[in-house]
Each structure stands twice: as C-alpha cells, then as structure tokens.
C-alpha cells in the first residue's frame, strides 16, 4: 500500500493561468518589515530578503532577522539591499552605506571596507563596489580591493551590471546604460536615462528597466525598442513607466514589476497580463513591485514596497483558485461551493449555499449568476443542493432548499419552478430537495419524505415506487442492474430493483460488514464497483462475490480521513474523495493512496459535507470548499517532484545554539558543511 503526500505550494501549471494564487511572507510570519528591496537565494537554498528595517533569512519554515543593535559600532543599518554572492557562495550586501560580507563557513558577518558604498553587486565571482562615480572590485579569495574604472558621468552611480551570454558587459547607471569595452572603456548605449536594472533572457534579448521612462528591449540582433504607457506592447500596454526588475520563468514568460502592478509577458502568444493588489485571498498584497527573483526550483519571489514577500511557482503551483465577490465577473457569487455539472459546451454550472447557481465560462474564465427573485422567474431559491444536466434536452435540473425543484432551459434561458405552480409536485416532494439524478428518461428526486420521479418528456411527477414505501432519501445511487441503493441516515442501506420492487434487501448497520456510521454518499465506478462514503466510518466498498462489505479507514489504510463526503472517479481511474482533511486519491486496483491536505497543499481553508467534486471531460477537476473553488489536472499530481537540497541548519547543545569556533569548540565550520560532529 503506497501513499504520496503533497506538501508543496500549488497553483496552475498550464499557460492559461487565471488567476495566480500568491503565497505571502508578512509580519505575522516573522518578516522584520514590509518594504522588501532585495531578494537572493544562497547556496543552501535559503532565501534572503533585504528590507528597510533589517535583513531576513528564510529557511522554508522560519525567518531569522538581523537588525542593528544599540551599539554605535553595529555592522547593520536598517536599510539592507543589493544582496549578491561571490564564487564560494558567501553573501555580500549593502547595509546603509556599508559593504557587509556573510561568511558561510564561519557564520560570521564582517565589513569588507571602510569606504562609503552606494551600490554592490557580483561579477564573475568577484564583488563590485560603487562609491559615487568610482567603481572598485573586491577579490574575495585574495581579500584585496582595487580601483576598477570611473563612470563617465559625474554625480552618477551604478545600479546594475550584467555579463551576457556572448561575454559582453553592460553597466546600468543613474545616467544611462553603457557597454564596457576592453575592460576599461565605456560606450554609451542609452544616454541620459536613469536605468534601474538590466536582464538577459534565454533568447539573448536584454530587458532594460528605467526608473521613470518605461521599458527598453535590446533584441539579440541589436535593435533597441522603447515602450511607455500607451505604446502597444503584448496586445495592450504597460500600466506604468516606473519599471523595476525583470525575470524569466521556466516557461519563457517575462515578469517585470512596476509601481502599479506585476506584468507577465508571454513572447509566444504576445500577450501581456497585469496583476494588482485586490482584497481577494491569494492576490498580491501590494501593487508596487521592486525585486523579482527566480530561485533554483523555478519559484518566482516578489518584493513589494508595503506588502512583504509574495511568491508562486508556475511549474508546481497548479491549482487555480476562485473566490467569492459578486461584484466581479471573475469570482463566485458565494463562498460555499456545492455540486457541479459540465454542459455540452464544456462550461460548468455550480451550486452555492446562498448565491444561487453560478455559470462558469471556462474559455473566458468568467462567471455569471442565476439568483432567485420574488417573481419566481429564476432559480427557486439561492440555497442550491444539487444539479443535473440533460444533454439531450439541454436543460438543467436544480434541487434547492425550501424552493423545491427548478428546471432551466439553457437555450431559451427560461425557468420552470413546479413547487410554486404544480400542486401535485408540492404534495409529493415538498420544498426541500436533497439529491437528483437522471436515469434513462426520468429524473429521480430525493425529496423530504420520499423518492419521486419526473418523466423528462412530459415533466409529470409520481412516486418512484407505486407502493409509496419509504426506503430513505438522504442519498441514493442507481447501479448498472437498475437497482437503487439508498440510505436514510443511520438506518442502514436499502437495495431495491426499480423494475421489481419485491426484489429488495435491507442491510442494517453491523450486518454483512456494513458499519454503523451514517452513509452520506453512494458511488459506482466505471468497473461497476460500489463505494459508500460515511460520516466517521471511512470508505466502505461492496464485495459482490461474497455479498458483504469491506472498509477502508484511518486505522487500516492510508485514507486521509474517516469522514468521506463526496466520491467521484478521475480520468486516470482513481477515486477522488473529499473530506474534512482534504482530498484522497485511491486506486482500487493497486490499493495505492495519494493525499492532498487542506491549507498546506490545497489552497482552500475547509471542506464540509455538501461541497462538491466535478471531473470534466478533459480531465480538469473542480473541488468546492467552504471559501471558494479550486481546479487542477490530476496528472500533475503524479509528476516527479523536483530534487530539493536538504541540510542541517542548527545544532543545539544543552539548549544553547552552537556556532563555529565558539567556546564549546564543537564546530569548526557551519553545521551545513560539517561531515561529522563529536560531542
């Protein structure tokens, strides 16, 4: 029995990302301050963030903060930026106007020069320092500092340096972009422009951001393009002329930050998208983006001016998240998402517990809403419990709580609500519909006190069984042999032949291996196997050969929870089961499990009974939660995970941290680089 647990960040793998779900590191996560001006990843994979109030190191679980002390000789200042590294992986950064080195082996900070530093960066494993218009080079291996060259413009300073794939060196300054010739001569490329950063993409194009005058692109053939607000770029236009840093993801998309939002440009489709702060969960925490950094796993890290760190991974973050905001057409009308169906045009119709029926156009990624009204010309009630789609008639059948049944003709966009117009329906079914299913030319309806049927051709109602006997109506399923399996809470299970009511059996809880827990869902898979989801009793399955039941629970299997709400089958032949803990993917043939846990993996906060699952014809899976809807493709869950580098970060002896060459003399170098520890 195998189990694979996904505990990584999830969004959407595919190029049609809408929207991105950003993760955040904020004050409550331990970040020292929200203005993040520099980002870097060290050789151990840890992320370093320079803020206006301290330097932060994030190891994936906690943040360590380095701030100035009250000592006037403190190395640190509040403002920390320009984080870079030498050829040995030691970090360098600017703290105030001081150049600071962090020695990895010794776990020690030191100042490398007493001169004032306006900018610091790395080039070929060495460190460049800028003091006004003079540039110096520091050779770490020899621990010496030499004068390098002078900037051509007085009262200017360096802002970036880049050695390109063809070995050219470009220098960005506050007064233009230059190319370094023969190691000392500077040739002007873009004069009199305050350049913020320079970046080379995988096609050898140079992306040059200006502080106030838009975006420059130097193509690999030497052509220089310039785009400002209003200029056509990517089918639209950039939204702000204050361009900050640029990065390319592993799909070739170009990301750049501005004062008014994060831009994503897809060179293959020539499409430009802009992401801004919004009150929705998973949005940017602030629209003003400064550093953008791609780490070795392909995660994109963003430093915002007042919103801390935002991050996502286009490769491994493959859940698309839809939250509720009825004032926006890219959001749901209500937070609690119930059952769903797909129509012939591959669009999705969604039940909500208070926002009526939501229609989701999957091509346009837009929602529209069908909500009740006093005239009963729309859905009968906004608390919608179940929904079925009839492809032959292109109609929806909708079960509501206290509004009865609604029938919606999609083509004519007209509703019929029999509870308000048909006394026979009101008498038979009442106003509360728990479940509906289409079987042949009938709609089977689990009503308040019985199960009834409606002829889809005549729309006439009658009892499912002429005897009127009550077999339970909390949940049901009709199998391949035309038998209805139905339960009424904790009173066991009825199995009745629809063609011969006398052919029936009643299995009480505790009989034939059936547990005593309440049955809340019944499902038949593509191989005609019957499964029961229970409230606290795990997943039960019917053994047709021996006419008894088996059970999978937390004690005897790797199922995620004993509370199994909804059951469906994926295109890969796995059962998908939602629960209070998240999702379980179970393969009945191999008896293997894969789980996706809430919050840490699944970007919704909770799943309750009544939340739905939909597996679409193209394999996309929609999962409803208490605070929205997520979608993804199952095959991504089976992809080989990236190789993550693990290391020991800290050693404590007698509850005291051990550092290299301290009084305990246990470590000679950092624990991460130590092969053996003797105590």
Each residue of 18-65: pLDDT tens digit? Answer: 458 899 999 999 999 999 999 999 999 999 999 999 999 999 889 999
State the pLDDT at residue 593: 96
Q: Which residue has the higher pLDDT, 550 or 279?
A: 550
State the pLDDT at residue 290: 97
Mean pLDDT value across residues 67-96? 91
| 679 inside domain | yes
Mean pLDDT value across residues 217-232? 96
State the pLDDT at residue 14: 30
Mean pLDDT value across residues 387-398? 98
Mean pLDDT value across residues 586-600? 92
Domain that holds residue 662: 647-679
Mean pLDDT value across residues 202-229? 97
Mean pLDDT value across residues 491-499? 93
Q: Is the pLDDT of residue 7 over 50?
A: no
Rounded to 5°, angle at Cα 44 from 41 and 50? 30
Label residues 408-429 b or e (16+ Cβ within 10 Å = b). bebeeeebbbbbeebeebeebb
| 136 inside domain | yes
3-class DSSP state for residue 429?
Answer: helix
Each residue of 291-340: pLDDT tens digit? Answer: 999 999 999 999 999 999 999 998 877 888 999 999 888 899 999 999 99
Q: Is the pLDDT of residue 431 over 60?
A: yes
Omega before residue 19 within 30° of 0, cis: yes
Structure letter (DSSP) for residue 261: E
Q: What is the pTM of this model?
A: 0.71
Q: Is the pLDDT of residue 573 over 50?
A: yes
| 43 inside domain | yes
* Among candidate residues 531, 619, 533, 611, the one with its CA nearest the CA of residue 573: 619
State the pLDDT at residue 8: 33
Q: Which range among 225-234, 275-284, 399-408 shows the weakest confidence by mean pLDDT? A: 275-284
| 134 inside domain | yes
State the pLDDT at residue 504: 96
| 666 inside domain | yes
Q: Is the pLDDT of residue 79 over 80?
A: yes
| 323 inside domain | no
Decide which of 133, 150, 167 is a domain's last residue. 150
State the pLDDT at residue 638: 67
Q: CB under 8 Å to 319, separation ≥6 — which residues?
A: 10, 11, 12, 21, 602, 603, 630, 631, 632
State the pLDDT at residue 491: 74
| 453 inside domain | no
| 600 inside domain | no
Q: For position 80, which CATH number holds?
A: 2.130.10.10
E-state strands within 356-492? 357-361, 366-370, 384-390, 395-400, 405-409, 414-416, 435-439, 442-446, 451-455, 461-463, 475-478, 483-487
Decide which of 113, 128, 150 is a domain's last residue. 150
- Residue 266: how many other CB atoms lie within 10 Å: 17
Work out how many domains the chain is built from and give that number: 2
Q: Is the pLDDT of residue 656 over 90?
A: no
Decide which of 93, 127, 150 is a domain's last residue. 150
- Six token digits for residue 327: 């004032």
3-class DSSP state for residue 11?
Answer: coil
């Amino acid at each position: 029995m195998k189990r694979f647990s996904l505990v990584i960040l999830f969004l959407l793998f595919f190029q049609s990302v809408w929207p991105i779900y950003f993760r955040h590191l904020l004050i409550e996560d331990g970040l020292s301050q929200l203005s993040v001006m520099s980002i870097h990843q060290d050789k151990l994979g840890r992320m370093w963030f320079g803020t206006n109030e301290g330097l932060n190191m994030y190891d994936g679980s906690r943040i360590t903060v380095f701030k100035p002390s009250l000592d006037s000789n403190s190395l640190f200042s509040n403002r920390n930026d320009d984080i870079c590294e030498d050829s040995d992986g030691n970090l360098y950064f600017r703290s105030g106007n001081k150049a600071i080195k962090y020695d990895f082996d010794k776990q020690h900070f030191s100042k490398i020069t007493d001169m004032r530093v306006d900018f610091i960066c790395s080039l070929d494993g060495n460190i460049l320092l800028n003091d006004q218009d003079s540039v110096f080079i520091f050779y770490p291996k020899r621990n010496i500092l030499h004068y390098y060259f002078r900037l051509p413009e007085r009262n200017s300073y360096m802002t970036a340096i880049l050695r390109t794939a063809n070995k050219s060196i470009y220098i960005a300054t506050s007064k233009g972009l230059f190319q370094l010739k023969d190691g000392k001569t500077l040739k002007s490329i873009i004069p009199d422009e305050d350049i913020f950063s320079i970046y080379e993409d995988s096609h050898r194009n140079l992306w040059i951001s200006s502080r106030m005058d838009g975006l420059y692109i130097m193509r690999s053939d030497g052509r220089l393009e310039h785009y400002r607000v209003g200029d056509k770029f990517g089918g639209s236009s950039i939204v702000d002329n204050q361009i900050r840093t640029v990065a390319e993801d592993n799909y070739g998309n170009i990301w750049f930050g501005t004062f008014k939002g994060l831009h994503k440009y897809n060179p293959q489709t020539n499409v430009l998208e802009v992401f801004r702060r919004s009150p929705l969960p998973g949005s940017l925490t602030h629209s003003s983006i400064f550093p953008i950094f791609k780490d070795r796993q392909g995660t994109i890290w963003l430093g915002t001016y007042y919103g801390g760190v935002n991050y996502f991974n286009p490769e491994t973050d493959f859940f698309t998240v839809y939250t509720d905001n009825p004032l926006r057409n890219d959001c749901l009308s209500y937070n609690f998402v119930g059952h769903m169906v797909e129509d012939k045009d591959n669009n999705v119709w969604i039940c909500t517990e208070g926002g009526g029926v939501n229609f989701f156009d999957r091509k346009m990624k837009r929602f529209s809403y069908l909500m009740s009204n006093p005239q009963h010309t729309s859905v009968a009630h906004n608390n919608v419990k179940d929904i079925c789609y009839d492809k032959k008639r292109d109609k929806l059948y909708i079960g509501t709580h206290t509004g009865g049944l609604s029938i919606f003709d999609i083509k004519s966009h007209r509703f019929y609500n029999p509870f308000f117009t048909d006394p026979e329906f009101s008498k038979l079914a009442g106003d509360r519909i728990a479940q509906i299913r289409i079987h042949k030319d009938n709609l089977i309806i689990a009503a308040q006190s019985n199960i009834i049927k409606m002829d889809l051709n005549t729309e006439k109602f009658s009892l499912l069984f002429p005897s009127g006997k009550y077999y339970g109506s909390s949940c049901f399923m009709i199998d391949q042999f035309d038998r209805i399996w139905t339960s009424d809470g904790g009173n066991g299970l009825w199995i009745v032949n629809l063609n011969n009511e006398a052919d029936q059996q009643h299995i009480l809880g505790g009989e034939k291996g059936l547990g005593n827990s309440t049955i809340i869902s019944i499902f038949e898979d593509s191989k005609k196997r019957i499964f029961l989801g229970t409230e606290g009793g795990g997943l039960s399955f019917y053994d047709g050969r021996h006419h008894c039941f088996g059970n999978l629970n937390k004690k005897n299997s790797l199922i995620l929870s004993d509370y199994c709400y909804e059951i469906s089958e994926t295109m890969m032949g796995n059962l998908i089961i939602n629960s209070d803990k998240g999702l379980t993917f179970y393969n009945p043939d191999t008896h293997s499990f894969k789980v996706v846990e809430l919050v840490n993996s699944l970007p919704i906060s909770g799943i309750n009974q009544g939340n739905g699952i939909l597996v679409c014809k193209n394999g996309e899976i929609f999962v409803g939660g208490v605070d929205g809807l997520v979608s993804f493709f199952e095959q991504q869950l089976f992809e080989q995970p990236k190789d993550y580098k693990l290391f020991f970060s800290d050693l404590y002896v007698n509850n005291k941290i051990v550092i290299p060459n301290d009084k305990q003399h246990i470590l000679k170098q950092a624990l991460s680089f130590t092969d053996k520890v003797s105590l």
